[in-house]
Structures are given as structure tokens and as C-alpha cells.
Amino acid sequence: MRKILKRLGMLMLISVSCMSQSVQIPLHAQTMLTAPATREEVKISPTDVIRKGFKVRVETPKGLHDDYENKWVIKMSEKSSSGYDSCVYSKIWIDDQRVYCVDPLTSVMNGAQDYEQISFGAYVNDAAVREKLSYITALGYGFQGDTSHEMDFATQICIWQTLHEWKPRQYPAISYIHKDIQSKIALIKARLALMEEEVSFAGEQLQLQGLGEEHAVTLQDDGGSFQWYVLSESSDGLHVRQDGNSLQIWAERIVTDGKLTFSCLYEDAAQIIPVVFDSPGSQDVMTLGRPRPKLAEITVDVQSEARFRKLDAGSGTFLSGAQLRIYPQDNPDQILAEWMSGDEAKVIKGLPIERKLILEETKAPYGFARSEKIIFALDDAGAIWIYDEEGDPHVAKEGMVTMEDELIKGRLSFQKSGSLYQRNQISESEFGTVYTPIWEKGNLSGAQITVYAAEDIVLGNDRLYYSEDEQITVLESGNDPVQSLELPCGSYYYVETKAPAGHVADHEKHFFEIQADENTQLQIVPALLHNEPIRVRLQFRKQMEAPRYSEMNDALEQVRFGIFAASDICFSNGDVGVPKGTLVSVCKVDEEGALSGVPDLPQGDYVLRELATDERYQLLDEEYPFTVSDVADDAGEIIISLGEAVNALKRGSVEVIKHDAEDDRLLQGAVFVLCTDEGLKNEIMERKSGADGKVVFDDLEYGDYWIVEKRAPYGYVQDQKLYHVKIGEDHAQLRIHVDNEAILTDLKVQKVDSLSHALIKDSSFVFGLYADKDGETLLMKAQGDEGIATFSGLRYGTYYLKELQAPEGYSSSAKMRKIVLDEKTRGISDTVTISVGNKRNVVTGTGHCAGQIAVVLACALGALLWLRRTMKEN
């Protein structure tokens, strides 16, 4: 603005300079004699005299009074007392002070010292005239550097003309002025005219809406005179830019009742008091000084202005919905402003300056924590100062008070606990030392949970952070709690997506919430999940072979299985807990034959073995290896199918060997029965001895049995003894030797007379008993005794009887008689008696002998018939 004014001044100076060409003329001090003037005298009272004794000095050209064409001469409308009607340009000083003459056509004596200084107001009592006269001297000679003689002469002429206009009878008129001088006079009068014109916006009272050039106000002078005004006074902090008749105003600091003063043509400076010097005998002169120019004043008021913005501390964007207020620190009850934040900075005007103020958030937008109070102050330059915690002020960044709200955030603190294999319970059993795994609660590493949004997470800034069911983060547990990333307010849930090795995953949704607590910026939400170890369910069915001859009853109660470590089983810390080959558990089976009492087994390799079973059954030889891994089903179980196993009953056999009691011969044909009860009511098996004399009862189940001979071998006496045997071990082979007494029969051969059938009581006869009909094998002989020859202890069989020696007096029979001894033989096992007739030797008559022979033949025939019938029955 100052540059533009300077340029304007330069242009004005140049234009004025172009209008005035200084012409140098010789001036000489001289005495000017003029005719007495006929005018009204100015009455000066003694009190108007200020000082006396001033000396005058005059310089003027000579010989120009009659040369009216000369520009340094003006023609007057009347003549002086000396007959001149012209005035010549002169320069007059009072004590080296430049002065102008008041009365034209009046003489002045160079060097005169009778001048008295009197009041200008007393001399010119019209204030308007005084002001105009003062403007003439200010706008004429010397204005804008024009010190030419032409301008000096024009200034003098304007003074005379003004006095003439004021009092035409006292001051003569001027009838001719040279054109060069006239042009200068026209310039002065044009300047005087500006002093009389008003600037259209003079007296304006402006209210600027803010600091800085962006809040500038532009004024336009409709009359067009403002272009000749210059800034003479400005309140501190106000700035202007003048462009012709346009004025732009702004402020750089708070201003109350600020003022801008513009002066017409020249700056308002200290006034030079006009003074009139009066001389009794010479021309009166005056110095008019420099009056205050025409002024255009503008009042400017700039209220304080502060900008406030509410930001999301995380994103740096505007945050809407916060309730804010401002009050003085020393008077909290005086609320200066209240508003709700929006999506742009809030401008608050009229706040007091140089006073500490408080910006307070009374309610934060949803999901954000209330910010701390901000202490600030405004200075008169419009700067905003923010006070830190130590009370030190700092200029606000970006020229505004910025309050940032942090998101209310929460972290999910995840810790996984579970049952860990950490020690063993060592005990002794009938099967050896048992290392039973003991599980104790502890922290688990390696579990993973995935966190999801349970709803659309939208906060007070209308920003969508997460969509419903959107995956947010994955956490993996360690020995210490693991925290998630910071989550804004809202509802969430997490699901375990990976369980630690050997544990059951929890697939349930676990919901949690980060609450809108304005006073807490960070919430810690604990997430404690417990994992149970994977349960091992051994699918193994134990069956017992059903006995055929007895009841099973409680056979399963005695069954015991052992689980052995097939490899080193480690604790959760990696140390060996159960060495390979160690017994881990002794298990029973339930009434259905399923394993029961299986402990929770750590990961590793195992083998199942049967340790004990019911005494009636064989112990299983087969082993059942299995592995416990970390792969479980949805129910958290490892189902290991080991199939089925059937315990076979212990089996044995009983071998009955049948001997001849006498000669230990093996006997064929003996029939034995096997019974399961001593009363022989439950006969389960019947066997017959073969040629080897053996009876075998095989595939006998564990238990007690009773054996009895049902039928003796042919020719033997049945054994009446009851044999008790017990199959107590598998593959037991029992052997029973049973001796049978042969059925012995005494064969008595009665020696009778063939005719009379009378017993021949003789002891001389001998019979032979043969094994064959040909008589080649003689078994035994029997000597008659009182008519009877006895063969004792004959077994079942077929014998051949032959008389070896006849009784004395009888004829010997060469006939071989067949004798069968069996169960059908009468008298068997006791005494079988046969009669063998002998024919008496004939000593006398033939007739008598023939009669005897007939009798003997008849008896022999009867005996043969009886033997034949007996043999047929056998």
C-alpha cells in the first residue's frame, strides 16, 4: 500500500513538475513605492500584537512594471498611489522567514524594522478564509517539490485573489495574469478544490471478520477524489493497499476502535501556526504555515477470532459429534461458547484476548475417549497460544486450537490353559511298577484363536472399521498372555482355530465387547480358554469263549490288560516321563467286554497286552500296538480301534488206557463215559477203547470231569471206579490207566458114563484144553478128581477140549470138543460144567456092550446139540 502511495506521489510530483518549468530571473532588493490605497483598514488592537521589531527583506526584478506581457507582472483592476496598476513578482522575508504580502499595490521598504507580529485570527477573522489561505501556501510553492518562481508567484497571486474574494473592497482584483503563471494558479486551485470534496467512505466504521489479508475489506470512493489522499495515520496492526480510488483494508492483529486517517494531497503533520506581520508604513505580510489537510477517517474494529477443530487422532480427519465448550480459566461458570464439532473447523469470534481460556470436551463421539482440557489464550496479533503441562505457552500449530480424540481401544488378552502331562504317579501292582500319567493345569503354547467382528464396527466418525464377521487378527498363545492389536469400540468374538498338540479345540464363539468408556482409552479384555487333553478311547472288545459244559458267570471280572509304553513318553516340557517298555496302566473290562479305566494318555506309542484273565481261559498272546496323536475328532477324542479278541478256554484231554489187570495187555472195546458232575447225570462224551487200549476224551474245556467205565471189554469185568479229573492248564493231557480183571470161569468137565450118565468118580483121566481145533496149541491139562476135571480161570474165548486120558475102564475119546465161554455162557464168570461121557470098555457079551454103546452115543449126541445151540447164540 505504501508503495502504491509512493508511486502515486511520484506520479503527482511528475505531473506537477511537468506543469511548472522554473524560470530563473534576477531579483534585487529595492524599495517599492505605491500609490495610497483606498481600502478598509484592518483594525488591530494592542492586545493582538505578539512581538515587535521584525526586519523585512525584499527581492524583486526591476523595470517590469509596465511590461504586462512579462509573466512576472500582473495587471490590477485599480492603480496604486504612484500610478501603477501592476504588481511585480517579489520574494519577501521576515527575519529569514519566507512571507507573502497581504495587500497588493502597497509598497514595502527593504530593511524596514517596524513590523509587528500579530494574530492571524485577529487579522483574518473568517475561519474559512484563514483555512483557504493556509491551504494555498501548503499546496502552492514547495508542494511536491515545486519551488519554481512561477509556483511562488502563483501562490502569491492566489493569496491576493482569496483576500479579494473575502473583501473585494479592501483587496483589489487582478485583471491579467500571464498564462504560465495562470497554469500554476489553476493547479493550486485544483488542489484547493480537492480539499473541499468529501471521500464517499470517509467516516466508515468497518467490522473486519478476521485477521489476515484473506479477510480484507475493499472500499471504493464514488467521487473519485480518494486517489489524491495519502495515509497519514494507522492503528497498529492495520494494513491498507490503495489503488486509485480503491482502498483495501485488513488487520494482522486484534484491533478495537482502530483508526485509519488519510490526508488529502499531503500527510498530516505538525501544523505551522500562521502569523501576520503588520507594519505601520509598509505592506503587511504573513506566513500561513502548513494547515491540517483534508482528512478521510475510517474506524476499524477487528474482533478476536479463533478456529477450533476436532480431529480423530488416529486418522487426522475431522471428527463430528463432540460436545465442546469454552470458558475462562478463572471463571468456569462463564460459558463463552458451546458447539458440536463437525467436518470443518469452528470459528469463534469475540473471545477475550490476553486471558487464559479452557477448551473442554463434555461429550465425545461414540467410540472415542474424551480429550484432556486445553488451556489457550489469544494475543492482540490474533495468535493462539497453547499452554503445555508445565504451563509454558506455545504457538498453536496451523493457527488453530486442535483437540484430538483417541479411539477408545481395547486389546484382547489371550491366554490358553489346559491340562498338561507334568508328572507320574508311581505305584506297585501285581504286574509290576505302574507309571500313571498325571495331568495338571498350566499355560498352553501353540493355541491359535481368530478374532472376528460380531457386527459392523462403525464409530462416531461414521467410519466403518470392520464389517460383520470380518476376520481381524489371529493370536497364538504362549507361556504369557498375548494381546491382540488395538480394537475400536464394538462387539467381537473369537474362535479357536488351532488347539495345542494333544488338546481338544474349542470351536465355540466367545463374544466380548470393547465398551464406550469415554474416560478409558485402552481396555484390556481377558480371554481365558481352557483346553482339555484329547481323550483316548480304545475301542477294544474282549470276548470270552462260551463254555459248552459250564456257565461263564463272572469270567470277565478277572480280565486285566496292561498298557505299556512302546516308546519314550515325554512330559509337556520334553523330558522323558515314561521310559519305553514301562507299564502305564492296568485296565479292566466292563460287562460288555470293553476296556475300562484307561487313563488320559500323552502322545506317544503304546502297546496293549493282556495281563490276566479268568483261570478257565487262555491268556492272549497277541499284542495290540497303537499310537496317540494330536488328531482328534469333533468330540475331542482319539478313537483307536484295536478290534476284538476272544479268550479261548483252556483245553486239555484225558487219555484212559485200558489194561488187562493180569498181564497188562491193552484192552480194546472198553466203553467209558465223561460226565461234568459227580452224580453222572450230565454225560457229555462216550468213547470206546481201540486196539491200543486207549480211550481219548479230547478238546475238554477247563473244569472238573468224572469218568466211569460204562462197558468193560469183552471178557472183562466192568470197572466200577469213578475217576475224577480236572483240566486246569491249557493243553493239559491227563492219562488214566484202568486195569480190567478178565472174566474168569472155571470149566468143570464131569466124567460120566455115556450110558448111565453117572459120574465116573475117577481121578485118572486127563483132559487137554487147546486153543485151536487142530489141537496144536495145548493151553492146559486137567487131572480128574473124583470124576471132575477142572480148568480154572478161563477167560472169554473159544476153547477146544480133548480127552487125553480116559478114566480107567473106559474108552478114551479122540473127539475135539469146541467150548465157547462168553457172557451168554451159563455159569460164566463162575463155573461152567459140562459132562463128557465115556464108554465103558466091553468085557463080556456083545449084547450087553451094544446096549452100553447106545447109551453113550445118546449122551454124546445130546451134549453136541447143546454146544451147537450155545455157539449160535454167541
Q: How far apart are CA 580 and CA 605, in angstroms?
A: 9
Using the predicted structure, report yes or no on whether residue 13 has a pLDDT greater than 60: no
| Cβ neighbours for 612, distance < 8 A, ≥ 6 positions apart | 431, 558, 559, 560, 619
Helix (H, G, I), strand (E, B) or coil at 185: helix
Q: Average pLDDT of 436-442?
A: 91
Helix (H, G, I), strand (E, B) or coil at 145: helix
User: In whole angstroms, how far apart are CA 731 and each of 1, 648, 700, 736?
Assistant: 131, 12, 9, 16
Q: How far apart are CA 499 and CA 472, in angstroms?
A: 19
pLDDT, tens digit (0-9, with 9 covering 90-100), for 513-566: 999 887 776 888 998 888 888 788 889 998 988 888 888 778 899 999 999 999
For residue 575, give the C-alpha cell. Answer: 523330558
Top pLDDT among 589 and 864 is at 589
Amino acid identity of residue 229, one-letter, is Y
Number of H helices, E strands in the chain: 6, 59
Using the predicted structure, report yes or no on whether residue 233 has a pLDDT greater than 60: yes
pLDDT, residue 217, reads: 95
Alpha helices, DSSP H, located in 343-400 = none
Using the predicted structure, report yes or no on whether residue 2 has a pLDDT greater than 60: no
The answer to whether the 409-531 and 651-740 domains have the same CATH topology is yes
* CA 506 to chain CA mean position, Å: 17
Mean pLDDT taken over the chain: 85
**CATH for 745-873?**
2.60.40.10
Using the predicted structure, report yes or no on whether residue 158 has a pLDDT greater than 50: yes
pLDDT, residue 329, reads: 95
pLDDT, tens digit (0-9, with 9 covering 90-100), for 268-285: 766 677 888 888 877 888
DSSP 809: T
pLDDT, tens digit (0-9, with 9 covering 90-100), for 596-642: 989 989 989 999 999 999 988 999 999 999 998 877 656 677 888 98
With bands split at pLDDT 50, 70 and 90, how would you rate the model's confidence at 184?
Answer: very high
pLDDT, residue 39, reads: 37
Q: How far apart are CA 228 and CA 294, in angstroms?
A: 10
**CATH for 305-405?**
2.60.40.10
HEC profile for 509-553? CEEEEECCCCCCCEEEEEEEEEECECEEEEEEEEEECCCCCCCCC
- Listed range (34-38, 296-300, 320-324, 461-465) with the worst mean pLDDT: 34-38
Top pLDDT among 742 and 400 is at 400
pLDDT, residue 355, reads: 92
User: In whole angstroms, how far apart are CA 51 and each of 119, 278, 290, 388?
Assistant: 10, 10, 21, 69
Q: Average pLDDT of 764-777?
A: 90
Which stretch, 90-99, 499-508, 853-862, has highest mean pLDDT? 90-99
Using the predicted structure, report yes or no on whether residue 725 has a pLDDT greater than 90: yes
User: In whole angstroms, how far apart are CA 518 and each of 461, 491, 559?
Assistant: 15, 17, 68
pTM, two decimals, is 0.50
Using the predicted structure, report yes or no on whether residue 65 has a pLDDT greater than 50: yes
Using the predicted structure, report yes or no on whether residue 857 has a pLDDT greater than 70: no
pLDDT, tens digit (0-9, with 9 covering 90-100), for 170-180: 899 999 999 99
Closest CA to 549 of 716, 453, 736, 681: 681
Using the predicted structure, report yes or no on whether residue 33 has a pLDDT greater than 70: no
Top pLDDT among 82 and 298 is at 298
- Listed range (26-35, 323-332, 585-594, 837-846) with the worst mean pLDDT: 26-35
With bands split at pLDDT 50, 70 and 90, how would you rate the model's confidence at 843?
Answer: low
152's enclosing H/E stretch is helix 149-166
Burial of 791 (0-12, 13-18, 19+ CB in 10 A): buried
pLDDT, residue 252, reads: 84
CATH class belonging to 535-647: mainly beta
pLDDT, residue 445, reads: 86
CB atoms within 10 A of CB 363: 14
CB atoms within 10 A of CB 481: 18
Q: How far apart are CA 438 and CA 603, in angstroms?
A: 13
pLDDT, residue 63, reads: 64
Q: Average pLDDT of 686-696?
A: 93
Q: How far apart are CA 631 and CA 732, in angstroms?
A: 47
Contact 539, 642 (CB under 8 A): yes
For residue 461, give the C-alpha cell. Answer: 466418525
Using the predicted structure, report yes or no on whether residue 227 has a pLDDT greater than 90: yes
**Which region holds residue 433: left if phi is over 0, alpha if psi is between -120 and 50, else beta?**
beta
pLDDT, residue 632, reads: 61
CB atoms within 10 A of CB 94: 19
pLDDT, tens digit (0-9, with 9 covering 90-100), for 185-215: 999 999 999 988 999 999 999 988 878 898 8
> In 3-state terms, the chain is what percent helix, strand and coil (to 5)?
15, 45, 40
State residue 567 phi and psi, 5-degree precision. Answer: -150, 170
With bands split at pLDDT 50, 70 and 90, how would you rate the model's confidence at 416?
Answer: confident
Alpha helices, DSSP H, located in 167-258 = 179-196
The CATH topology of domain 651-740 is Immunoglobulin-like (2.60.40)
E strand spans, 29-96: 49-54, 56-59, 73-76, 86-88, 91-94
Using the predicted structure, report yes or no on whether residue 257 has a pLDDT greater than 70: yes
pLDDT, residue 18, reads: 31
Q: Average pLDDT of 44-57?
A: 63
Listing DSSP states for 262-309 in one string gives EEESS---PPPPPEEEE-SSS--EEE-------EEEEEEEE--EEEEE
Does CATH number 2.60.40.10 belong to domain 409-531? yes
User: In whole angstroms, how far apart are CA 687 and each of 129, 271, 655, 678?
Assistant: 177, 167, 10, 18
Q: Average pLDDT of 697-719?
A: 91
pLDDT, tens digit (0-9, with 9 covering 90-100), for 646-675: 989 999 999 999 998 888 889 999 999 999
pLDDT, residue 225, reads: 93
Tell me the chain's radius of gyration from C-alpha atoms. Answer: 81
pLDDT, residue 27, reads: 45
With bands split at pLDDT 50, 70 and 90, how would you rate the model's confidence at 764?
Answer: confident
Burial of 8 (0-12, 13-18, 19+ CB in 10 A): middle
Using the predicted structure, report yes or no on whether residue 12 has a pLDDT greater than 90: no
Using the predicted structure, report yes or no on whether residue 581 has a pLDDT greater than 50: yes
Q: How far apart are CA 583 and CA 434, in angstroms?
A: 5
Residue listed under C-alpha cell 472399521: 465
Using the predicted structure, report yes or no on whether residue 742 has a pLDDT greater than 70: yes
Q: How far apart are CA 833 and CA 821, in angstroms?
A: 11
Q: How far apart are CA 130 and CA 121, in angstroms?
A: 8
Contact 416, 477 (CB under 8 A): yes
pLDDT, residue 273, reads: 73
pLDDT, residue 41, reads: 40
Listing DSSP states for 855-867 in one string gives HHHHHHHHHHHHH
For residue 2, give the C-alpha cell. Answer: 505504501
Q: How far apart are CA 674 and CA 723, in angstroms?
A: 9
pLDDT, residue 9, reads: 31
For residue 594, give the C-alpha cell. Answer: 470293553
Domain boundaries, the chain: 2-196, 305-405, 409-531, 535-647, 651-740, 745-873
Alpha helices, DSSP H, located in 20-82 = none
